[in-house]
Chains A and B, each alone.
Chain A
Amino acid sequence: MAGKSGRTISAVPQKSFMKTILSWEGILLVLFIGINIFCKCISPVYNFTNVLREMPKYLTEIFLLFPMAYILLMGEIDISVGSTVCLSATVACLVSNAGLPFGIVLLAGLATGTVCGMINGFLAVKFRELPTMIITLGTQIVFRGIAEIALGDGGSVSLVNADGFRMIAGKVGPFPYLFFVVIICAVIFTVIAEKRVYGRSLYAIGSNSRTAFYSGIKVNKVLFTAYAVLGFLAGVSALFLISATYGANTTTGKGFEMDAIAMAVFGGISTAGGKGKLTGAVIAAFTIVCLRVGLGQINMNAQVILIILGLLLICSVLLPNISSALHKTRKKA
């Protein structure tokens, strides 16, 4: 073949310790440690046991973070997950109260979530002209609406027999089972995103979905799978949520979607697609959880906590932009 010029191209990746530390993930890690020190300073009861004990409620949201990160990586969005969690929890509770075995209850919850996710995926694939934001806005209302109907007057269902769910809420030492499941999920999802073909496809679609399609990547399949997985994990999240509330109501899972998106964005994943790492999202999620736990322990006004989170979210995106802009002008001068 050609190559007459004899030019060689280097194929050795350059890795350095400094680079790793100075990546967004590195900064987040520093921030994570900083926030833990900060919380320790402000709250006398901020310790390992208490943080772990307060964590499960937040962990149920972190489940959604992983597949949500996938969807954001593709440049899409899903704002219906909170409703999916609500519907899955409702179905699982109703099935449980109908006296069916616990296995079937779990299955029902997971299946409901998966079906919801598949509906989103189907609509997203069949109507590519529509932004997924608007599709999932619609399904958000519908899923929660169906849960409302299923819950009927009273809008709340509580478990008659919570034994099975009590089991789920168990602990190994100070660690709730949930913690391990989240960590396992985090590892699986990170490895898939970084090392497997599916992950590569995600980044390809998010960076340029047409090139990805032209290059033989089954864009629709990847997209559909991501939505279905998000639905499935919404089901998992719902089951763990039930184990904390022994029931479901019409407000179950409200705001989960925004929390999951915020965590992902804080973790460096761009809603425009193609950019960011799962590791960053995971660290970011735990950073936010620790901060919330710490601030909660000094009984800070919940609204002020939200303001801080909002500022943090904006600053995490704004500051790198500003500093790089300043950098540029300085270089010019």
Chain B
Amino acid sequence: MSEYVLELKGITKIFPGVKALNNVQFQLKPGEVHALMGENGAGKSTFIKVITGVHKAEEGEMYLLGKKVDFRGPRDAQQAGIAAVYQHPTSYPDLTVTENIFMNHEIKKNGMIQWKQMNKEAQEYLDQLDADFKPTVEMGSLSVAQQQMVEIAKAISTHAKIIILDEPTAALTASESEKLYRIVEKLRDEGVSIIFISHRFEDMYRLAERVTVFRDSQYIGTYDVNGITNAELIKHMVGREIKDLFPKPEVRLGEELLRIEDFSRTGYFKNISLKVRAGEIIGLTGLVGAGRTEVMESLCGITRPDEGRIFLEGKEIFIKGPGDAMDNGIVLLPEDRQKTGLILSWGLGRNVTLPIISKLTRKGFIDEKAENELSKKFLEDVDTKAVTIFDAASSLSGGNQQKVVVAKALVQDNMKVIIMDEPTKGVDVGAKAEIYQIMGELAQKGFAIIMISSEMPEILGMCDRIYVMCSGRITGELSRDEATQERILEYAMEKEKREEAAER
């Protein structure tokens, strides 16, 4: 019997034009939690898909419990006891939780699906995970965290010996993450081997014994978590040293720029009031689903609030659509780059100029030369890694896509207030630092910045003032000095506390 449950050697995977994996190796011990780290585009996701049989490697060998295996498709991997929980929940929103859990390994008798038994077993799995919803509800009606839980239940239900978690905590808040850690530990104790991909160092320290680092499609090394420092690890991942992750500059705060009063929208948020001054970075945090994004989208005219007033530089303004917000200098960088931030099939240049295209005209015709030069300038300003401005946005990594979104905001020369919704979500360490850098520079130039984030370190590291939301209300406001992780969490969980009190 081999020392490893899973071992891969010399794996090379080529996509048209790119080598996504170049001679990488990997070993997984039985019953361990093994972290897999690396920047976006380092090849982690491709690697996972090779293990699960979605992609077929051009070269290399894979051993399962010492035996050489050759997966022809996802089914083979499933049958061999490998299950994966992917980065973007790969669920079926229109189907029930039970169906999602048992998809493609339904319980059948005489070719007929046994719904009763499946529902019962699904309930058992959910109970194991302390889930608070029924297996008969539709997947689409659940929160991201709940969906993640269903994905894990799905992995457990296949009685997998190896479970792969691809950035499971990216969309989770601290408390939800904690719950996930406990589940992972429980699984490990039951003898399941786990591969854990994450950008968050706290995940790794909390769970993993060993960590493997990939960079630029290549294998860099495998290290004991306790034997490696944070800085060393970052250096391995990025290939250079990053001195200061949060370059918060000292800024003299100016006049109040934006103030919203009594913002309410049925079912989403109620009585929200906040203000931001020139040069100030404020954080808006809370659990996912607390209504943070919804407030900002209403402010930017994406949705219409039921009530509320907006004051810009002391004067009341009325916003009926996203165009109005932009005209007033309020710019939103949406959370979901791929769905609402960029047009992936378009070139970078056109993406950048999209919001101001009507201003780049001469006698009504688009001045393409001016357009190209303008977008080139701004793309270079944010240091996008691209060859030409005609490269498709889909060809960039997450971090570079985010930079394009930033350029798309900066190009609006009347910009006063910039709202960034989870600007570093799914962005690797290297690019993260660059984005913080840009934020700092913007603040210095006197823009007001509102950052929505679930990541405690960046909230604490970058913000002058922090608003915490819970269940559609602002439950707390903290200055940079007052703010600690504990106090933020306390405000963010106000509702749960209230409920607990009520129960007693």
Contact = CB atoms under 8 A, between A and B. Distances in A.
Given a CB threshold of 8 Å, the question of whether A touches B is answered with: yes
Interface of A: 1-5, 7-14, 195-197, 200-201, 203-204, 207-208, 210-218, 274-275, 328, 331-332
Contacts of A201: 357
B345 interface: yes
Nearest to B339: A210
Nearest to B408: A215
18 contacts: A1-B381, A3-B380, A5-B383, A10-B376, A11-B388, A195-B366, A196-B364, A197-B366, A200-B354, A207-B346, A208-B343, A210-B339, A211-B343, A211-B354, A215-B355, A216-B321, A217-B323, A331-B16
In the complex, which of the residues B16, B341, B354, B385 has the most CB atoms of chain A within 10 Å of its own CB atom?
B354
Given A196-B365, A197-B366, A331-B16, A211 B382 contact: no
A32 B14 CA distance: 39
Contacts of A332: 14
A8 B342 CA distance: 21
Contact of B386 (A4, A9, A200, A217): A9
B16 A218 contact: no
A11 B349 contact: yes
Given A213-B322, A218-B321, A3 B375 contact: no
A2 B355 contact: no
Given A9-B376, A10-B387, A214-B322, A2 B361 contact: no
A323 to B, nearest CB: 14
B18 to A, nearest CB: 12
Contacts of A13: 372, 390
Contact of A2 (B354, B366, B441): B441
Interface string B339-374: 111111110111000110110010011100000110
A41 to B, nearest CB: 41
A1 B441 contact: yes
Which residue of B16, B321, B386, B438 has the most chain A CB atoms within 10 A of its CB atom? B321
B340 A11 contact: no
A7 B388 contact: no
B388 A10 contact: yes
Contacts of A2: 381-383, 434, 437-438, 441
A143 to B, nearest CB: 31
Contacts of B342: 208, 211
Contacts of B325: 216
A31 to B, nearest CB: 26
Given A213-B322, A214-B334, 11 more contacts: A5-B383, A7-B380, A11-B349, A11-B376, A11-B388, A11-B389, A207-B344, A211-B343, A216-B321, A217-B323, A274-B345
Contacts of A208: 339, 342-345
B456 interface: no
B332 interface: yes
A326 to B, nearest CB: 13
Nearest to B346: A207
B388 A8 contact: no
A215 B300 CA distance: 11
B212 interface: no
B357 A197 contact: yes
A229 B225 CA distance: 65
A328 B361 contact: no
Contact of A211 (B326, B341, B357, B380): B341
Contact of B383 (A4, A196, A218, A328): A4
B251 interface: no
